[in-house]
Every structure is written in C-alpha cells, then in structure tokens.
Homo-oligomer: A and B are copies of this chain.
Amino acid sequence: MSVLVVGSMAFDAIETPFGKSNKIVGGAATYIAWSASNFTRPVQLISVVGGDFPREELDMLQARGGQLEGVQVKKDQKSFFWSGRYHMDMNTRDTLETQLNVLGNFEPVVPETYQDTDILMLGNLSPAVQLSVIEQLKKRPKLVVLDTMNFWMETAMGDLEKVLKKVDILMVNDSEARQLSAQYSLVRAAKEIMKMGPKYLVIKKGEHGALLFSKDHVFFAPALPIDEVFDPTGAGDTFAGGFVGYLDNTGDFSFEGMKSAIIIGSAMASFCVEKFGTTRLRELTRQNIDERIQQFIELVNFDIALV
C-alpha cells in the first residue's frame, strides 16, 4: 500500500507564550510525511521548494520512506514562508508574515510512479492545486482525504466545492466546519457538509479532541491532557499523517477502522505539540508511540455496570 501526500514544504517562524523559534522547516506535507512514515512506506510527496530549502531535510525524509520524485525544487526561487504568534490559549494565532514564493505559481505534476497510490492525502493548499492532482490520477485512489482552511472558503469557494465533490473524507477544525456549513451546531454542520460530497467528516477541536462523523455514526477522540502545549504548529497535519498512515497500514477503511485511525492521529498530534516544529516527531520511537496509544486507551476506557 502507499500514501500520496500533497502539501507545502516550507519555513516557519513561530512565537508562543513559551518562546520563539528561528526559521525552521515546516509545511503541511512535511508534518504529514513524518507522521505517516511511522505506519506506512513509501510516503509519496508532491510539493515545491526553493533553492533555499535544505538538501539534508529532503534526504532525511527520503531515509524515512519519503518518495520525492513529485517534489519540485526551484533553485532560483525561495520556499514558502509563514510566521505567526500564538495567543495564551494556543487555539488562536496571528499571522505576522506570509511569503508565498514558490507556492505562488505551483503547478503540481504527478509522477508516473505515483499513479497506483491507495490513499490520496490532500494537505491544505489552494483547491485548484488539489483538484489538479486528483485529475492527473488515472485511477481513483481507494480513499481521498482533504484538508482545507477558512482562507480558501473565502477566496476560492467555487474550486473548493469542486474538490469537495471528489473526496471521501474532509478534515477541518470546528470554526471552519461552522463557516463552511453556516451552522453553529457541529452535528448540523456535519450533516450539511456531507451533502457537499464527503462521506465522512473529521472535525478537529484542538485541545478538545476530534469528532468523526458518517451519515449514521459519530465517534469522539479526546486530546491527551498535557501539562503544556508548547507549539501547536503542524498538529493538524500530524494528526492527518497518523490517520492516513494507519489506514494505509491496516487497509481497513470502514467506520470502525477510521475510529482507530483517529486515535492514532490524536496520539501523533499529542507528540507534535511538545516541542517546536517537527522536532519531537523526528525523535519518536516505536515504543514512544505504543505507550502513548496505551495512554489514550486508559484515558477513555470505562466499564459500566448498568443498574
């Protein structure tokens, strides 16, 4: 099995109440790939970077099972750059600077070797780019998962609607689900969004966990209560990476299978926020992950003696 990941590979500069990072490597595809590679390989990447992107970063991803034929390197241009500052609650942030650079005119090309992929993970990017990848695939993947954000709802809703019709699972956060559906209740939001195309909806609620909806079922995964969220950047992408990586590993795309995948995604996200950027994701061992999953089981597991 294999996962094809489309997304940014970029530089971030992050300020939190706990500290400030230098310009560090980030981007949706980076987080998704580091996370997914714990569960499945190869992780086929489609992205674009500038000449300033460190070669050793690409080498490290390759050593982790990343396949890089779809990563365009534009030597004369600069990589996408984002800087932001998180507020005390870590759920809200201000963007300080965005430099689109190579992302400004990104035209993804799907290499021939990616054509047989089982799962397509469309990380947050312009819906036009996401659509182009879908259309270049000669055979529809078994599962197409989409991440997007409020920015695209406001600036490219027409394209986004087209993409939504072609995906199986949409992943958004709670405020984006509300914006997309014009419904405050998340249950009602889910019903509206599933009319737009996706058969499943994952609503990420940050420190409040995540919900998985299908037409007939709902599942809830908590976030692990931790002493301190150090840096939430990339947590959603890390969640997505664990989710698709695990699904690709098991091949079980039923609602039951997705429930487990949501827990895996939550466990991976709980690591991501412990240090700046992808630092924590790079240190993880199999044993770290197994222990964390055990913590999630203990966190929500109960027996009711009905009385």
Contacts and interface: CB of A to CB of B under 8 A. Distances in A.
Contacts of A184: 88-89
A250 B303 contact: no
A218 interface: yes
A184 B299 CA distance: 21
Interface stretch (A5-13, A66-74, A129-137, A259-267): A259-267
B304 A293 contact: yes
B303 A256 contact: yes
A271 interface: no
Contact of A299 (B187, B188, B218): B218
Interface string A208-242: 11010000011111100111100000000000000
Given A260-B305, A263-B302, A222 B222 contact: yes
Given A187-B225, A187-B226, A307 B256 contact: no
A76 interface: no
Contact of A302 (B208, B211, B218, B260): B260
Given A186-B225, A222-B222, A299-B218, A264 B88 contact: no
Contact of A205 (B208, B246, B250): B208
A293 B307 contact: no
Contacts of A302: 219, 221, 256, 259-260, 262-263
A284 to B, nearest CB: 14
A62 interface: no
Nearest to A302: B259
Interface string A178-220: 0000001111100000000000000001001101000001111
A300 interface: yes
A184 B307 CA distance: 38
A80 interface: no
Interface in A250-277: 250, 256, 259-260, 262-264
Contacts of A225: 186-187, 211, 218, 220
B185 A300 contact: no
A96 interface: no
A300 B187 contact: no
A300 B259 CA distance: 9
A157 interface: no
A209 B299 CA distance: 13
Interface of A: 39, 88-89, 184-188, 205, 208-209, 211, 217-222, 225-228, 246, 249-250, 256, 259-260, 262-264, 290, 293, 297-300, 302-307
